[in-house]
Structure 1
Amino acid sequence: MNITIHSSFLPHDDPEASLAFYRDVLGFEVRLDVGKGAMRWITVGPPNQPDTSIVLNPPAPTRASPTTSAAPLPR
């Protein structure tokens, strides 16, 4: 049996910094970059592995209960 990972989803707080790291430092190619500001959906991957992608997505919003206030997600 072969197991292959095609996509991995990684949350980020700063799309520009995340894109710069994967593209400029690791040398990944940009496969998709849609959206605007903090709501960007960016897909990158190694140039020699077209079936493998890393999806850089904004973190899920925090939820506040009626008795607590929303706190930022830990880093």
Structure 2
Amino acid sequence: MTMNAITRSQIYVLDQDEALDFYVGKLGLEVNTDQDLGFMRWLTVNVPGDPEREILLEKPGPPALDPATAEQVRELLTKGALSGWLCLTTDDARKTYEDLVAKGVDITDEPTERPYGIDFGIRDPFGNRIRIGQMYPRA
């Protein structure tokens, strides 16, 4: 058996509407699925043009977590002690950085030249860490 793709990733968010505003309104991702399943809202976003790779913006709760555990996760998120981590790429890191600064995004570090490219860090409204990089071609 061989795995051939990563199709979905998950991060916790405390408010899915606020997450949509951030991930779609500020980062420019697009909504892939927004469906009320009754027991939860299945809300995923993806990079435009790449609907096969989704990020689930999950509110802590059932069915994955019982109420007590969900409350603990919410408390840890609020304290900044529990966060996810995403890496996104861009064709122009410095321009993307300027655009995000203008939109008021929480920048954790400025664009920096690295052996693999130029990257910088941001944080979503829930403390999740995001790296945005302009990657150099692989040799």
Larger radius of gyration: 2
* Equivalent residue, structure 1, for 2:13: 12
Q: Between the two proteins, what is the percent identity of the paired residues?
A: 32
TM-score (norm 1): 0.69
Q: Aligned partners of 1:35, 1:54: CA distance in 2, in Å?
A: 16
Note if contact 2:32-2:51 (Cα within 8 Å) is conserved in structure 1. no
TM-score (norm 2): 0.41
Q: Structure 2: which amino acid aligns with 1:63?
A: A
* Equivalent residue, structure 1, for 2:72: 72
The count of aligned residue pairs is 68
User: Normalized per residue, which structure has more helix?
Assistant: 2
After TM superposition, the runs of 4+ consecutive aligned structure 1 residues lying more than 4 A away are none
Q: Aligned partners of 2:13, 2:55: CA distance in 1, in Å?
A: 12
Note if contact 2:43-2:58 (Cα within 8 Å) is conserved in structure 1. yes
Q: Aligned partners of 1:61, 1:11: CA distance in 2, in Å?
A: 15
* Equivalent residue, structure 2, for 1:23: 24
Q: 1:5 offset after TM fit, Å? A: 1.7
- Taking only aligned residues, the RMSD between alpha carbons, in angstroms, comes to 2.7
Q: Aligned partners of 2:15, 2:71: CA distance in 1, in Å?
A: 18
Counterpart check, 1:63 vs 2:78: no
Note if contact 2:29-2:47 (Cα within 8 Å) is conserved in structure 1. yes
Q: Aligned partners of 1:4, 1:43: CA distance in 2, in Å?
A: 17
Structure 2 unaligned runs (5+)? 78-139
Structure 1 unaligned runs (5+)? 65-69
Q: Partner of 1:55: helix, strand, or coil?
A: strand
* Equivalent residue, structure 2, for 1:45: 46
Q: Aligned partners of 1:43, 1:8: CA distance in 2, in Å?
A: 9
